Chains A and B, each alone.
Chain A
Amino acid sequence: MKYIDEFRDQQTARRIAAAIKQAAQAERHYRLMEFCGGHTHAIFRYGIQDLMPANVEFVHGPGCPVCVLPAARIDEAMQLAEQHDVILCIYGDMMRVPAGSRRSLMQAKADGADIRMIYSTQDALQIARDNLDRQVVFFAIGFETTTPATAVAIKQAAAAGLENFSVFCNHVLTPAALGAILNAPEPVTIDAFLGPSHVSTIIGSRPYERLAKEYGKPIVVAGFEPLDVMQSALMAIRLVNDGSHEVKNEYSRAVTRDGNSKAQTFMTEIFELRDSFEWRGLGVIADSALQIRSEFSTFDAEKRFVIETHAISDVKGCACPEILRGQKKPVECKLFGTVCTPANPMGSCMVSSEGACAAYWSYGRHRVCQDVNKPHEP
């Protein structure tokens, strides 16, 4: 616990805040995109924006795995549970995201589908072992952080001949998302990135080097503790001042340049690049996601079951796509706080605890909704 306290020390926070005030040049405006929902969450939970000078602005990025998954994929998972009678194992945050006809997996569960919230891929394997007469599908989502665990589960299932287990793979790649933001038709002004932390423990900081150089933006790999976010902001401001396009690693206690080679080996053994994948907000991006290699296709739910694909449009007026690209702030969405609240979410960014809209609403509503006199009820 000493470890946690050290990263939440008030005195250190004040010292970094003072250094940021000094480093931020008065005539400039700094737009720093924090890539991950974990960063956004820390900024709001600890009120970090209050400690920043007025010309340092955080722009929230797309690094929320639940947020970037298009509704069609949730709909497909729901088909597995409802039409193929499988036990669908999911990470908790997926439960409440509205999919087709604004129906969520939680509603499907209430209607009788066998959907189980799990904490790790090992739970899904155990459920498969305990229910050999049923098909068990793990709804795999997430960036590179969660991918190795899925790879290991498939390896274990293969080794044990666990034939009733399969994976509905939705793993996506961080550098591709970063590239899509920088490459957008109307790119948003960003001076520097606070790069992914947990993801980088796996892939290292090297994959960002090409992007930083090509697009001329410094990237600081930033931890999720509030002091990490502040220290990374300071490093990013200094890099912007120097006109540097480097990748710096603030999260050096966990991230190396080359990452975790063992985890990478597992990933390459089980997964290969998908030609393209549709992201909510970022659209269809080539080489941005993973699929299960043909050698392990018996564990691929997309091969094992016939899944129909339907296009599902987002709720009219929902600005999740623009918010995920950093082009809008949650409060600029017409639905924010009026029809869209965590109790009645219209888009994924209001559902996930890592979503920017949920962070604004749950931690920062006092700041942004001065006119909304309507008290919120659960």
Chain B
Amino acid sequence: MSLDLRNGVINMGHGSGGRATSELIETLFLKHFDNELLRQGNDQACFNVAAGRMVMSTDSHVISPLFFPGGDIGSLAVHGTINDVAMSGARPLYLSAGFILEEGFPLADLERIVISMAGAAKQAGVKIICGDTKVVDKGKGDGVFINTTGVGVVSAGVNISGDQARPGDVILLSGTIGDHGIAVLSKRENLDFETRIESDSAALHDLVTVMIKAVPQIHCLRDPTRGGLATTLNELAKQSAVGMQLREVDIPMRTEVAAACELLGLDPLYIANEGKLIAICAAADAKLLLSVMRKHPLGRDAVIIGEVLPDKRQLVQMQTVFGGQRLVDWLMADQLPRIC
């Protein structure tokens, strides 16, 4: 029995641990993720590490729809974890990939996802060296869930952490906000609208490398994913026990994203991004950091969006386009569409 990648579907046998599982691994995962560590066929991957500090991060991906403009769950699972590792200033090295598949899921879709993951990992120079596959009964999953865990190494002298923001520091943003969230929303079953927006899903470690080379003493790095720019800045303000002051006019946004947010009654500050980062550094380093970011393709729209302030209340505030002042709060729950 060979795997029918064109018309076949996942069945419970693929998660049994027997022949069918082995066949799935060989004809799909091993074929596309192929590397010497994976090829050894062990239950774990064994590798040498450089001296110094290691970084580890994990992320589970449960996105709906699985395929969206600018990416899919596969590329997202690779980029998301690489970025979480990279935001410590580390160079990501290896990834694991755990798949939870729903019975009945088309093998053709699974192959498409695996090829996309393999491509994203290859482009990022990161290897997928171990993995796991489980199958759940039909109705107990949403097609496919992917967990990836990443490890990396951080160079000596780099000490980037969310608690390092200090009053007087400058806040930089690598580009436009809201692209990923709006691209995904536009393809939701009950909310189909026409847009040219593509997800910004991308691996940011190369951008981080050039930033650290120029300014090794960057204080904080974080990618504003779920909860958007607003929530991520609030997390940093809380961790560092500081306040922040932003300028709305300086926050870059594509016209299409602004229009979609307007239509749906959403605030773009809370929309997810998958290929952007926030950097906080001393004011004296800001100019240099901004200039190296702008020379990198993933940071060419980088801007300074505000400053860190002393504030016991740890509030993130913003001067609006009108010149008034507003608070930029935590995301309370998923944003809901307007009704009036």
Q: Given A8-B321, A372-B313, check contact A37 B340 (CB 8 Å).
A: yes
Set B262, B326, B340: member contacting A363, Cβ < 8 A: B326
Q: Please give, as numbers and ranges, the residues of chain B lying within 8 Å of A369 by CB-CB distance.
A: 313
Q: Please give, as numbers and ranges, the residues of chain A lying within 8 Å of B190 by CB-CB distance.
A: 118-119, 123
Q: Given A46-B321, A226-B322, check contact A365 B339 (CB 8 Å).
A: no
Question: Does A378 lie within 8 Å of B339, measured CB to CB?
Answer: no
Name A360-378 residues within 8 Å CB distance of B. 361-367, 369, 372-378
Q: Please give, as numbers and ranges, the residues of chain B lying within 8 Å of A342 by CB-CB distance.
A: 332
Set B267, B326, B340: member contacting A354, Cβ < 8 A: B340
Q: How far is the CB of A133 from chain B (nearest CB, A)?
A: 17
Set A10, A66, A119, A364: member contacting B322, Cβ < 8 A: A10
- Does any Cβ of B come within 8 Å of A266's Cβ? no
Q: Given A92-B339, A118-B190, A119-B191, check contact A46 B313 (CB 8 Å).
A: no
- Does any Cβ of B come within 8 Å of A4's Cβ? yes
Q: How far is the CB of B260 from chain A (nearest CB, A)?
A: 10
Question: Does B339 lie within 8 Å of A51, measured CB to CB?
Answer: no
Q: Please give, as numbers and ranges, the residues of chain B lying within 8 Å of A141 by CB-CB distance.
A: 339
Set B249, B317, B326, B340: member contacting A145, Cβ < 8 A: B340
Name B216-253 residues within 8 Å CB distance of A. 231, 238, 249
Question: Does A378 lie within 8 Å of B322, measured CB to CB?
Answer: no
- Does any Cβ of A come within 8 Å of B337's Cβ? yes
Q: Please give, as numbers and ranges, the residues of chain A lying within 8 Å of B191 by CB-CB distance.
A: 119
What is the CA–CA distance of A365 and B120 in the complex, to the nearest angstrom?
43
Interface residues on B, range: 35 or more
Question: Does A146 lie within 8 Å of B339, measured CB to CB?
Answer: yes
Q: Please give, as numbers and ranges, the residues of chain B lying within 8 Å of A4 by CB-CB distance.
A: 258-259, 262
Question: Does A13 lie within 8 Å of B259, measured CB to CB?
Answer: no
What is the CA–CA distance of A367 and B315 in the complex, to the nearest angstrom?
11
What is the CA–CA distance of A1 and B262 in the complex, to the nearest angstrom?
9
- Does any Cβ of B come within 8 Å of A50's Cβ? yes
What is the CA–CA distance of A107 and B262 in the complex, to the nearest angstrom?
29
- Does any Cβ of B come within 8 Å of A23's Cβ? no
What is the CA–CA distance of A189 and B267 in the complex, to the nearest angstrom?
34
Question: Does B327 lie within 8 Å of A364, measured CB to CB?
Answer: yes
- Does any Cβ of A come within 8 Å of B105's Cβ? no
- Does any Cβ of A come within 8 Å of B320's Cβ? yes
Set A49, A142, A365, A375: member contacting B340, Cβ < 8 A: A142
Q: Mostly helix, strand, loop or mixed at chain B's interface?
A: loop
- Does any Cβ of B come within 8 Å of A73's Cβ? no
Q: Please give, as numbers and ranges, the residues of chain A lying within 8 Å of B320 by CB-CB distance.
A: 45-47
Interface residues on A, range: 35 or more
Of B262, B323, B339, chain A has the most CB atoms within 10 Å of the CB of B339
- Does any Cβ of A come within 8 Å of B336's Cβ? yes
Q: How far is the CB of B234 from chain A (nearest CB, A)?
A: 8
- Does any Cβ of A come within 8 Å of B67's Cβ? no
What is the CA–CA distance of A119 and B321 in the complex, to the nearest angstrom?
29
Q: Which residue of B lies closest to A230 (CB)?
A: B322
- Does any Cβ of B come within 8 Å of A14's Cβ? yes
- Residue-wise, chain A 31-65 has the 8 Å CB interface mask toward B (1 for contact) of 00000111000001111111100000000000011
Question: Does B324 lie within 8 Å of A49, measured CB to CB?
Answer: yes
Name A331-347 residues within 8 Å CB distance of B. 342-343
Question: Does B332 lie within 8 Å of A378, measured CB to CB?
Answer: yes
What is the CA–CA distance of A146 and B338 in the complex, to the nearest angstrom?
11
Question: Does A51 lie within 8 Å of B329, measured CB to CB?
Answer: no
- Does any Cβ of A come within 8 Å of B42's Cβ? no
Question: Does B326 lie within 8 Å of A47, measured CB to CB?
Answer: yes
Question: Does A95 lie within 8 Å of B329, measured CB to CB?
Answer: no
Of A14, A145, A366, A374, chain B has the most CB atoms within 10 Å of the CB of A366
Question: Does B322 lie within 8 Å of A13, measured CB to CB?
Answer: yes
Question: Does A198 lie within 8 Å of B330, measured CB to CB?
Answer: no
Set B238, B262, B332, B339: member contacting A362, Cβ < 8 A: B332
Q: How far is the CB of A140 from chain B (nearest CB, A)?
A: 11
Question: Does A92 lie within 8 Å of B337, measured CB to CB?
Answer: yes
- Residue-wise, chain A 106-120 has the 8 Å CB interface mask toward B (1 for contact) of 000000000001110
Chain A contacts to B: CB under 8 angstroms: 1, 4, 8, 10, 13-14, 36-38, 44-51, 64-66, 91-93, 95-96, 117-119, 123, 141-143, 145-146, 198, 226, 342-343, 353-354, 361-367, 369, 372-378
Chain B contacts to A: CB under 8 angstroms: 190-191, 231, 238, 249, 255-256, 258-259, 262, 265, 267, 312-315, 317, 319-327, 329-333, 336-340
The 8 closest A-B pairs by CB, nearest first: A47-B324, A92-B336, A50-B324, A91-B339, A375-B314, A378-B330, A342-B332, A362-B329
14 contacts between A and B (CB under 8 A): A1-B256, A4-B262, A44-B326, A47-B323, A91-B339, A123-B190, A146-B340, A364-B326, A366-B327, A367-B325, A375-B238, A375-B314, A375-B315, A378-B231
